[in-house]
Amino acid sequence: MTQEHTAEQHWLGRSVKRKEDDRFLQGKGNYVDDINLPGMLHMSILRSPVAHARINSIDTSAAAALPGVVAVVTGELLAQHNLAWMPTLSGDTQAVLATDKVRMQGQEVACVIAEDPYVAHDALELIEVDYDPLPVVVTPQQSLEPGAPVIRDDKEDKQDNRIYHWEAGDPEATERAFAEADRVVEYETFYPRCHPAPMETCGCVADVDPVTGKATIYMTSQAPHAHRTVFALVAGLPEHQIQIISPDIGGGFGNKVPIYPGYVVATAASLLLGRPVKWIEDRTGNLISTGFARDFYMKGQLALREDGRMLGLRVNMLSDQGYAYADAQPSKLKAGLFHIVTGSYDIPAAHVVTDGAYTNKAPGGVAYRCSFRVTEASFFIERLVQTAAYELGIDPVELRRRNFIRPEQFPYTSATGFVYDSGNYEAALDKALEMLGYEDLKAEQARARQEGKLIGIGLATFTEVVGAGPSKDYDILGLKMFDSAELRVHPTGKAILKIGVQTQGQGHETTFAQIVANELGIPPQDILVQHGDTDNTPYGLGTYASRSTPTAGAATAMVSRKLRDKARELAAHLLEVAPEDLEWVGDRFQVRGAPDRQTTIQEAAFAAYTNHPQGMEAGLEGVTYYDPPNMTYPFGTYAVAVEVDRGTGQWKVRRMVAVDDCGVRINPMIVEGQIMGGLTEGFAMAAMELITFDELGNCIGSTFSDYLIPTSWETPKFELGETVTPSPHHPIGAKGVGESATVGSPAAFVNAVVDALAHAGVRELEMPIGPDKVWQAMVEAGLAE
Ligand code: CDP
């Protein structure tokens, strides 16, 4: 066949429209709550009104008698089946339904299963629980005081509330660096508790077939395979008898990584009752009981020479984990990625100490659009560097430039032992400064100050680390963090790609098809991408921490290459030449020196089923499990200019410039969408998102009227730029990007607001920065009007 070769060969870097949007834009998405099975029952959860109490008794008789109620499940009933407690993804335990005590407000105490969701809900009010209140611990500082009530006294060997103590870096080298320093700059802050608050709350439909015993669980899960394994271990069911299906997911952001009691009780109830059971969480349930983020105290010092050269870094961190250690942390890296706390800077020595403590609050500390604790680490170093710039009287831009890891230093081993793959920090900084018009803005800021107006400029020149991860270091509950792709090309050249990761809105159905298209020349519209069904996709650890592109994206490229190798053999057979005589030109093989003799990938696929050489296995399909050799290290510069009103403390974003480098971009439009979403969440953390507690452990921030999330009205305009520094070890040079903007931007916003007041000595404003805090700081600094 000698058809003209017109196909576009390169599918990377093209803003292909999202394939999945057809169904979303027509209202045809299929979320868990859209699933309705014959004979399905509905479950509602009774939650504890108090943060810490002994349970004397639970009387469910009136609820059970309400017409329409089928069953009331308590911890006592679950205990009979050895299901009252379950493992968390960090290897701790968490109550499914409380038995002895409640340990946080909102804890799951009992569940009603009824014919109708409203009856299930109404019946909750008929359950009588007799609580004996206990002293409440709401901060990790209180929790670690000698004599504090031991929250996890269910564990026989637990005498205090400390969960972990972890250190990284070299304490002696750090001491020496501090001894040599001209200046030591300190910074202390609290990264408050916030919540991923995805648009869709958590929920499931559990359907245990009474005949076959097979459990089919439709579930809001970011990690269906890992969850299936945990279900198998908890329930003692064989894995082939558990199918977890994550249909369309309305946002996850880390919130749908942990396993929640609702999933377990619904499944147990379906098993016991022989009928499907649906549980859909309400908004308050989601905000008060599911994985929160941050709640993290940080303090540290930077040792510098007078000229601004950084010599050493010391950091102490304390984490409030709630009453169970339930965020997903690699077992070898307990403190997560505090290890990149040295940021984009060549700091020769560092010592990082971190502790985690139980409190009477919801478990979590989940990576809200972040890899483990990288958001906190990034925020800390970017705020510390700005503070150092003020203390040394060096422009924050200049101080950063003097300390950046230089391009020729990559691969760069940080003082805490991580190997950064590639970077060019100055290029991203220069681009952002140019876009912002930094010098002009500085001049305007100086003029404005003379006129009594407050303008602030804030930067974050962040590095982050995504793509968990190399199996030698990264696991969740012992499950290694590789990922997978299975590709099948059918006789007519149309393909199905099955991946181990799980999209929640990131557009994998498009970008992963683009990766295959780029490797095989099959256009994306001819490739169906499937995910989120444990019976029908290869094993993988799921989507969070921007790991999909670095892991399953790499697996997709590698499996495509495997198929291309086989297609070469098939093409050689068809063209009656040796495979080495063929060259690949993007979507076909052509004979070297005779380009009119060609075989397209579609023709090779057809031959795989109709005309394969004798001795060759038929078919064109394969699977790859990809174990990345390293993480990827995206980076960027975010620059923010704000104006502060001296009469009210209100601050307004005037400009927000974001230059990101995530290596090779598969789909620039999707990448920009990811960045804009992440910047919005970063702005939200800086300006308004807060979950807090009173001294009795009552959660303040349990509805959207007091947990504030930004609408388009509050969200600033973002100006995006890019540089491209490919990852040297990723098959297509891509780095993850989904979380970069959430990780990097809060520091840029806070740095900008602080900068507006810095000439009057203000150094710190704790997030979220409402006008009240700015006003207070202005009053103290004599800037208020
Ligand atoms: O794991 P998650 O999907 O949340 O994060 P990601 O790997 O950073 O990818 C987010 C989306 O951006 C996916 O659709 C990626 O394929 C896409 N992406 C891209 O087009 N180019 C990159 N260099 C990185 C991500």
| Tens digit of each residue's pLDDT (9 = 90 or more) over 165-176 | 999 999 999 999
Q: Using the atom order of ligand 1, give the atom closest to the CA of residue 634.
A: 23
Could you identify the atom of ligand 1 that is nearest to the CA of residue 510?
14
> What pLDDT band is residue 426 in, cutting at 50, 70 and 90?
very high
What are the residues facing 625 on neighbouring strands?
A: 484
Atom of ligand 1 nearest to the CA of 501: 1
Atom of ligand 1 nearest to the CA of 545: 1
| Ligand 1 close to Cβ of residue 543 (< 6 A) | yes
Q: How far is the CA of 465 from the centre of ligand 1 (A)?
A: 14
547 in ligand 1 pocket by Cβ < 6 Å?
Answer: yes
pLDDT at residue 347 in the model: 98
Chain segment 725-740, per-residue pLDDT in tens: 999 999 999 999 999 9
Atom 5, ligand 1: residue with shortest CA distance: 546
Strand partners, 218: 205, 245
pLDDT at 8: 45
> Ligand 1 center to residue 354 CA distance, Å?
30
Please list the helix, strand and coil fractions of the chain in percent, rounded to the nearest 5, in that order: 30, 25, 45
Q: What confidence score (pLDDT) does residue 377 get?
A: 96
Residue range 490-535, pLDDT digits in tens: 999 999 999 999 999 999 999 999 999 999 999 999 999 999 999 9
Residues 6+ apart with CB under 8 A from 61: none
Q: Strand (E) positions, 174-255?
A: 183-191, 203-208, 215-219, 242-245
- Is 369 a residue of the active site? yes
Q: Which of 94, 105, 222, 243 is catalytic?
A: 222
How close is the Cα of 671 to the center of ligand 1, in Å? 7
Q: Rounded to an integer, what distance in angstroms lies between the CA atom of residue 495 and that of residue 513?
A: 9
What's the CA gap between 453 and 107, in Å, rounded?
Answer: 49
- Does residue 303 register a pLDDT over 50? yes
pLDDT tens per residue, range 174-210: 999 999 999 999 999 999 999 999 999 999 999 999 9
* Residues paired with residue 474 on neighbouring β-strands, in sequence order: none
- Position 276 confidence tier, pLDDT thresholds 50, 70, 90: very high
Look up residue 724 and give its DSSP letter: -
CA distance 503 to 248: 8
Average pLDDT over residues 743-756: 98
**Each residue of 699-715: pLDDT tens digit?**
999 999 999 999 999 99
Q: Return the beta strands (E) in 98-213 as ranges.
A: 101-102, 108-114, 128-133, 162-169, 183-191, 203-208
pLDDT confidence of residue 35: 98
Can you say how many angstroms the Cα of residue 470 is from the centroid of all Cα atoms in its chain? 17
Ligand 1 site, residue 632, Cβ cutoff 6 A: no
| pLDDT at residue 83 is higher than 50 | yes
pLDDT of residue 7: 45
Q: Tell me if 264 CB under 6 Å of ligand 1.
A: no
Instruction: Report if pTM > 0.85.
Output: yes
Shortest-distance atom of ligand 1 to CA 508: 14
For tokens 């001819």, name the residue.
Answer: 526
Evaluate if residue 253 carries a pLDDT over 90.
Answer: yes
Is it the case that residue 368 has pLDDT exceeding 60?
A: yes
pLDDT at 311: 98
CB of 275 closer than 6 angstroms to any ligand 1 atom = no
| Ligand 1 contacts CB of residue 531 (under 6 A) | no
If one counts every other C-beta atom within 10 angstroms of the C-beta of residue 38, the result is 7
How many whole angstroms from 507 Cα to the centroid of ligand 1? 8
Residue 518 CB partners (closer than 8 Å, separation 6+) = 10, 11, 12, 557, 560, 732
pLDDT of res. 649? 98
Report, in angstroms and rounded to the nearest whole number, the Rg of the chain calculated over CA atoms: 28
Average pLDDT, integer, range 269-292: 97
Q: Return the closest-CA partner of residue 141 out of 331, 380, 314, 316.
A: 316
For residue 123, the model assigns a pLDDT of 98
Give yes or no for a contact between 189 and 302, defined as CB atoms under 8 angstroms apart. Answer: no
Inform me whether the pLDDT recorded for 97 exceeds 90.
Answer: yes
Work out the number of other CB atoms within 10 angstroms of the CB of residue 299.
Answer: 16
What percent of the chain is modeled with pLDDT above 70? 99
Structure tokens given for 297: 């105290």
Ligand 1 near 294 CB (within 6 A) = no
* 773-784 mean pLDDT: 98
Contact 301, 314 (CB under 8 A): yes
CA distances from 529 to 184, 502, 509 (A): 53, 11, 5
Residue 752 region by backbone torsions, left for phi larger than 0, else alpha for psi between -120 and 50, else beta: alpha
Q: How far is the CA of 72 from the centre of ligand 1 (A)?
A: 43
Does residue 568's CB lie within 6 angstroms of at least one atom of ligand 1? no
- Closest to 302 measured CA to CA, from 401, 169, 172, 182: 182
Q: Is there a contact between 280 and 33 (Cβ–Cβ < 8 Å)?
A: yes
pLDDT reported for residue 339: 81
How far is the centre of ligand 1, averaged over its atoms, from the C-alpha of 332 (Å)? 26
Which pLDDT score is estimated for 9? 54
Half-sphere exposure of 632 (CA within 13 A, CB side): 35
Q: Tell me what pLDDT residue 1 has.
A: 36
Chain-centroid distance, C-alpha 31: 20
> Which residue did the predictor score with more confidence, 6 or 436?
436
Q: Does the annotation mark 370 as catalytic?
A: yes
Active-site residue, selected from the candidate residues 111, 194, 202, 370: 370
CA distance 680 to 676: 6
Distance CA 718, CA 673 (A): 11
Cα of 627 vs centre of ligand 1, distance in Å, is 18
Q: Is the CB of 78 under 6 A from ligand 1?
A: no
Per-residue pLDDT tens for 619-671?
999 999 999 999 999 999 999 999 999 999 999 999 999 999 999 999 999 99
What residues form DSSP beta bridges with 753?
none
| pLDDT > 60? residue 574 | yes
Question: From atom 4 of ligand 1, which residue's Cα is the shortest distance away?
Answer: 546
511 lines ligand 1 (CB under 6 A): yes
Mean pLDDT value across the chain: 96
| Max avg pLDDT among 228-232, 327-331, 382-386 | 382-386
Residue with CA closest to ligand 1 atom 3: 548
670 CB near ligand 1 (under 6 Å): yes
371 lines ligand 1 (CB under 6 A): no
- Distance from Cα 548 to the centre of ligand 1, integer Å: 7
**pLDDT at 773 exceeding the cut of 50:** yes
Atom 12 (ligand 1) nearest CA: 671
- The label of the residue with tokens 């001294």 reads 695
User: For 51-60, how does the pLDDT look when each residue is reduced to its tens digit (9 = 90+)?
Assistant: 999 999 999 9
Q: Which of 193, 228, 369, 564 is labelled catalytic? A: 369
Find the 736 Cα to ligand 1 centroid distance in Å: 5
**48 CB near ligand 1 (under 6 Å):** no
pLDDT at 6 over 50: no
